């Protein structure tokens, strides 16, 4: 039987917004999201791509029969729950595993056949929809094309404060508005001549860092400026988006540097309190700073921690 684990709303947000070339929600075995609320609540509004617990589903790979004659939950007919990489359940407000409710009951059944932990969203639909109202919907069925073309939002690295994505997302007015972004850190290889008017983009302040995605590029010398810029915004509760061209190398190096600076995280080693790389990969598994940036992050670890905890020749980066 798989474990049952509580997860935060931002963790589900990141799952819903993972992508490679297209949204990963189009992958048949990526995410099984179950709305365990009453049927009328589901049809009123639910989290995007969620399946209703009590609705009969007929498709090539999943269905759900709801409750048995005694009122207990039963497994989906023809559902390959065991093959799903992520299984997530939510109800209205469940906040812990000790609560008796629809989410826990449903998760217990799914855990019997899942190969991976079954996650229950803390605070349920009420909390998630309050944080991300733009991910609520009444839509029930999706074609593969619709799933592939879903809008993908930046990863949420520090809950409610720091997001990380690509340059296209930083130029998407809907993304900036939905996430209430106040400032943008843009790292690109486009030469930039600072001008007073360049500091503001629409309603967002913007810090431009001109660094190529090359192992020979110097990003380290900008870490302190970037950390100070991000820190000045999140200290007053404002949100910051960090971007680079593809949202993988430069922006991840910058964001990892900020995690190390702000929380005094190690890079990847056995230090305390945590590893910045582990947190980053959990938020966005596709990130990968180039080898030169990794060495600079190792040097930054010495600067922030006073000691190099991470041995780059032995670590899992």
pLDDT at 63: 40
Distance CA 170, CA 21 (A): 18
Domain ranges of the chain: 4-148, 155-305
Whether the domain at 4-148 and the domain at 155-305 fall into the same CATH topology: no
Span 135-146, pLDDT tens digits: 999 999 999 999
Span 66-117, pLDDT tens digits: 455 455 555 554 456 888 999 999 999 999 999 989 999 999 989 988 999 9
Span 195-243, pLDDT tens digits: 443 455 568 999 999 999 999 999 999 999 999 999 999 999 999 999 9
**Token digits of residue 300:** 């930054």
| Residue among 311, 313, 291, 309 nearest 301 (CA) | 309
Distance CA 64, CA 32 (A): 12
Residue with the larger pLDDT of the pair 271 and 170: 170
- Answer yes or no: pTM beyond 0.95: no
- 155-305: CATH, from 3.30.9.10, 3.90.190.10, 3.90.400.10, 3.90.1150.10: 3.90.190.10
Report the run of H or E that residue 230 belongs to, with start and end.
helix 220-234
Q: Which residues contact 316 (CB under 8 A, 6 or more apart)?
A: 268, 277
pLDDT at 53: 82
Distance of CA 207 to the CA centre of its chain: 23
Span 24-71, pLDDT tens digits: 999 999 999 999 999 999 999 999 999 998 753 333 333 444 455 455
Task: Give the phi and the psi of residue 187 in degrees, each rounded to 5.
Answer: -110, 115
Record: fold of 4-148 = Oxidized Rhodanese; domain 1 (3.40.250)
Residue 41: how many other CB atoms lie within 10 Å = 15
How many Å is the maximal CA-CA distance in the chain?
71
Residue 204: how many other CB atoms lie within 10 Å = 17
pLDDT at 48: 97
Q: What is the DSSP letter of 306?
A: S
Span 244-276, pLDDT tens digits: 999 999 999 999 999 999 999 999 865 555 689
pLDDT at 20: 86
């Amino acid at each position: 039987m798989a474990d049952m684990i509580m997860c935060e709303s931002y963790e589900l947000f990141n799952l819903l917004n993972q992508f490679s070339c297209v949204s990963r929600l189009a992958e048949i075995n990526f995410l099984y999201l179950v709305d365990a609320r009453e049927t009328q609540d589901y049809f009123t509004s639910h989290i995007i791509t969620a399946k209703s617990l009590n609705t009969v589903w007929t498709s090539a790979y999943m269905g759900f029969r709801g409750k048995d004659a005694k009122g207990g939950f039963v497994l989906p007919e023809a559902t390959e729950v065991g093959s799903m990489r992520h299984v997530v359940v939510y109800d209205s407000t469940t906040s812990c595993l000790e609560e008796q409710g629809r989410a826990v009951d449903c998760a217990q059944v799914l855990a019997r056949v899942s190969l991976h932990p079954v996650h229950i969203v803390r605070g349920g639909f009420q909390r998630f929809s309050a944080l991300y109202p733009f991910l609520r919907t009444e839509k029930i069925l999706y074609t593969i094309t619709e799933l592939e073309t879903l809008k993908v939002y930046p990863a949420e690295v520090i809950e409610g404060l720091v997001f990380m994505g690509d340059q296209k997302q930083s130029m998407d007015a809907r993304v900036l508005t939905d996430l209430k972004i106040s400032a943008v850190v843009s790292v690109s290889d486009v030469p930039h001549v600072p001008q007073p008017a360049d500091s503001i983009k629409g309603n967002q302040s913007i810090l431009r860092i001109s660094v190529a995605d090359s192992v020979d590029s110097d990003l380290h010398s900008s870490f302190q400026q970037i950390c100070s810029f991000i820190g000045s915004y999140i200290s007053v509760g404002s949100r910051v988006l960090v971007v680079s061209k593809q949202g993988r190398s430069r922006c991840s190096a910058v964001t990892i540097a900020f995690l190390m600076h702000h929380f005094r995280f190690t890079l990847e080693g056995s230090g305390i309190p945590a590893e910045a790389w582990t947190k980053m990969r959990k938020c966005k598994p596709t990130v990968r700073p180039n080898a030169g940036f990794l060495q600079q992050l190792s040097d930054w670890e010495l600067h922030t921690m006073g000691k190099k905890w991470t041995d780059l020749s032995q670590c899992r980066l």
